[in-house]
Structure 1
Amino acid sequence: MTASAPTILATSAGCVPHPRLRFAFGPMMRLATELAAEDGWHDPSGPPCICNVSTASGDDARFQRDMEEAAREAGYELHHLSLFSTPNVADIPAYLRSFDVIWVNGGSVVNLLAVWRAHGLDRVMRQLWEEGVVLAGVSAGSICWHTGGVTDSFGPDLAPVTDGLGMLPWANGVHCDSEEARMPLLRRLVAEGTLGETHCTDDSTGLLYRSQQLVEAVSEKRGARVRRLRRDDVSGGLVEEDLPVRLLEGALPGESAD
């Protein structure tokens, strides 16, 4: 299944609280499946089919089971691409092409980038994106598609990462409302030129890109913000602006579970 144009949904969202499970899938995951369905399902009688890629958390088996439970509850079919300790499929490109959405989870974006490059998955993801497979993800699974951002991959103190896949020509900030150190560092890095224009998401929000165009910002929660940071090349100062945010159907007043 492919979307009508190269599509990335880069988020600080995707999962919401659930009374019995560790988390449930929210409106952001539903949006990802709707984007893939624009040209109709291969099998209209079947459920949306998602590939979970959890490289950034070391393919943690418990988290993978939690994702399966959330998918079952939502009526989705979900499988995994695992790279630890060896890939779980022989033909990774063919396997990934069989899904409607590739969802990349959070964790260490630095480790994700290193492992993907070792397996050639950076090139595979770019090819799939160009073919119209919907790429989506949260946190590390959001930053990875951009030129970089800030990360806690190296330890408790946030640090810049500038070697993202670069499929999107901007940097990316995630969890900008719930982790108070992120926005000040992002502002400094953009102002000094370490990062270029940077798109910053609060928890529960996401950015929809078609090709290399930012189409809209969306949110699972009322009041969450999405901001754009850029350096004014004339004054050398920082320009910060709020972007309009579309509230997704089924948005909840509570916090995101991510």
Structure 2
Amino acid sequence: MNRQIIAISGGGFSTEENAYIDQYLLKIPRKQDRLKITFIATASNDAQGYIGKFYEAFKEEEPSHLTIQDFALDHVQEMVNASDIIYVGGGNTQYMLTVWRETGFDNVLKQAYEQGVILAGISAGALCWFERCYSESHDDGFEEFQGLGILQGTFCPHYNDKKRQVAFDQWTSKQDNMFTYALNDNESLHFINEQVVAKIRSYTND
């Protein structure tokens, strides 16, 4: 059974209708039935508008979501394992990882991944899978912190943002022998068994 992750830099359902990367994601399980896709909006502190966009985008499937309060449910592992896809939204990466670790949801996701549940995420939801993160800090700068470590190295979403690009390049120049991925918006990476197999670039009509 393959283990798969889709790391999305920017785009997806939150900014586009019928986003190509979301259609790509839905084709991976190759099932005839509707897909069970679960949204995790921890990084936006369970923003209701964001969750609503998710339900609208995936209304043809079997969408659901888990809030921070749901992480304490006794059967949360079974709920996550029953999903075909876990889709993690964007927002504050460090806050999200802190919540996951405090509640044990980080281990829930890791176990589901080992069982073949596809992990996908945009921005913070893409960065979190890597060993090391370098992202916004509370003082409007950037700082390093630990990711979940499922994928080697580090990842920079929104690399087309000049401030982020400069900060990330300065940080990575001081790191030794680290896998580094940097993507502009509307670019994504597909990992199978922790190895990158495809870079997907989509285009909008903007």
Asked if TM exceeds 0.5, the reply is: yes
Q: RMSD of aligned C-alpha atoms?
A: 2.1
Q: CA deviation at 1:14?
A: 4.6
Structure with the larger helix share: 2
Structure number with higher relative contact order (C-alpha < 8 Å, ≥ 6 residues apart): 2
The residue identity in structure 1 corresponding to 2:98 is A
Matches within 5 A, 1:1-258: 4-15=1-12, 23-37=16-30, 41=31, 44=32, 46-72=33-59, 75-84=60-69, 87=71, 89-157=73-141, 159-177=142-160, 179-193=161-175, 196-221=178-203, 252-254=204-206
Identity, % of aligned positions: 24
Once the two structures are overlaid, the 10-residue window that deviates more, 126-135 or 86-95, is 86-95
Of stretches 132-141 and 26-35 in structure 1, the one that deviates more from structure 2 is 26-35
- 1:77, CA displacement in angstroms? 2.3
Contact kept, 8 Å, 2:41 with 2:47, in 1: the verdict is yes
* Runs of 5+ consecutive residues of structure 2 not aligned to the other structure: none
Give, in whole Å, the separation in 2 of the partners of 1:176 and 1:253.
20
List gaps (5 residues or longer) in structure 1: 222-251
Q: How many residues align?
A: 206
**Offset of 1:161 from its aligned partner?**
2.6
Name the aligned partner's letter for residue 30 of structure 1: Q
Distance 2:133 2:71 in 1: 28
Distance change in 2, residues 1:67/1:138 (3 Å): same
Q: Aligned AA for 1:165? A: L
> 2:66 is aligned with what amino acid?
L
1:204-246 deviation line (CA, Å, top 9, x unaligned): 110111112111111112xxxxxxxxxxxxxxxxxxxxxxxxx
TM-score, normalised by the number of residues in structure 1 = 0.73
TM (norm. structure 2) is: 0.91
Deviation at 1:203, TM superposition (A): 0.4
Task: Give the distance between the partners of 1:208 and 1:105, measured in 2 at CA.
Answer: 17
Find the aligned partners of 1:78 and 1:50 in 2 and give their Cα distance.
Answer: 5
**Change in CA separation of 1:99 and 1:83 when aligned onto 2, cut-off 3 Å:** same
